[in-house]
């Protein structure tokens, strides 16, 4: 029995390393779109031991970041996941600096900063800016990086915040990927907080009128529900 278990473990390990990035990415997109904890945990398990492929390492970091965003409610668990995601994301950038690895590292840092004090958060903001800016430089159509930068300028207190810059990045995100309705939603939030009610209403109506992106179904449906609430307040 012991020999059989060893053989099964070896076969399982070989299967893990035989799965390429494209297949792993497909599994990640499906799990993230559904916000399915069990499926995302499988992706994390399949990618956590890879230490030489930057894309797979970044995928592991992105999977940990996303499951912490919507899969767990315990703050200690979430912070621990973000810590691990930052470590893995930064290691991926060291191996290969691409728009994807830089975006993932920056996104994880942005999430982790929410759990740190003001001083630590300010230092982390510089790292976030470096990674996300590099991601955009390497691919000006990286809409997720553009959204992240737009939210950064919207949500960071003065003097680090800037509504005009936030608007610029979120509009660029919409131009880069018009079917991602969360860009409209985040721009609507900016306009509402900015006191531009007419523009906010227009953006929230766009969220309701447009279909959800197939890669972000649960997130899109949540955006539609929240957009309705904001519209009720604004009308």
Provide mean pLDDT across the span 11-20. Answer: 55
3-state SS record for 45-109: HHHCCCCCCHHHHHHHHHHHHHHHHHCCCCHHHHHHHHHHHHHHHHHHHHHCCCHHHHHHHHHHH
> What domains appear along the chain, each with residue ranges and CATH number?
1-139 (1.25.40), 140-235 (1.25.40.10)
pLDDT over 60 (residue 16): no
Residues 6+ apart with CB under 8 A from 122: 160
Residue 53: pLDDT band by 50, 70, 90 thresholds? very high
Burial of residue 188 (CB within 10 Å: 0-12, 13-18, 19+) is buried
- Asked whether the beta carbons of 133 and 149 are under 8 A apart, the reply is yes
The tens digit of pLDDT for each residue in 161-203 reads 999 999 999 999 999 999 999 999 999 999 999 999 999 999 9
Q: Find out whether 124 and 112 touch, Cβ atoms under 8 Å.
A: yes
| Total count of residues recorded for the chain | 235
Average pLDDT over residues 122-145: 96
pTM of the model: 0.90
Q: What is the DSSP string of the chain?
A: -HHHHHHHHHHHHHHHHHS-HHHHHHHHHHHHHHT-HHHHHHHHHHHTT--S-HHHHHHHHHHHHHHHHHT---HHHHHHHHHHHHHHHHHHHHH---HHHHHHHHHHHHHHHTTS-HHHHHHHHHHHHHHHHHHHHH-TT-HHHHHHHHHHHHHSPTTT--HHHHHHHHHHHHHH-TT-HHHHHHHHHHHHHHT-HHHHHHHHHHHHHSPPPTTSHHHHHHHHHHHHHHHHHH-
| Res 2: pLDDT | 45
Average pLDDT over residues 22-49: 98
């Amino acid at each position: 029995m012991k020999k059989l278990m060893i053989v099964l473990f070896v076969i399982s390990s070989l299967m893990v390393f035989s799965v390429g990035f494209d297949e792993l990415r497909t599994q990640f997109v499906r799990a993230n779109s559904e916000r399915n904890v069990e499926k995302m945990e499988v992706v994390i398990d399949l990618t956590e031991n890879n230490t030489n492929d930057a894309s797979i390492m970044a995928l592991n970091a992105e999977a940990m970041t996303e499951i912490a965003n919507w899969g767990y409610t315990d703050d200690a668990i979430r912070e621990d996941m973000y810590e691990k995601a930052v470590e893995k994301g930064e290691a991926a950038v060291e191996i290969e600096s691409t728009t994807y690895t830089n975006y993932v590292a920056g996104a994880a840092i942005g999430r982790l900063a929410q759990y740190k004090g003001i001083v630590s958060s300010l230092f982390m903001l510089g790292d976030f800016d470096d990674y996300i800016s590099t991601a955009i430089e390497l691919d000006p159509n990286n809409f997720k990086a553009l959204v992240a930068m737009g939210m950064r300028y919207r949500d960071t207190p003065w003097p680090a915040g800037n509504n005009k810059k936030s608007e610029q990045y979120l509009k660029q995100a919409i131009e880069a990927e018009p079917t991602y309705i969360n860009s409209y939603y985040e721009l609507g939030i900016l306009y509402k907080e900015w006191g531009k009610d007419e523009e906010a209403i227009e953006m929230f109506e766009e969220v309701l009128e447009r279909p959800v992106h197939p890669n972000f179904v649960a997130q899109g449906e949540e955006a539609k529900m929240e957009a309705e609430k904001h519209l009720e307040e604004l009308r």
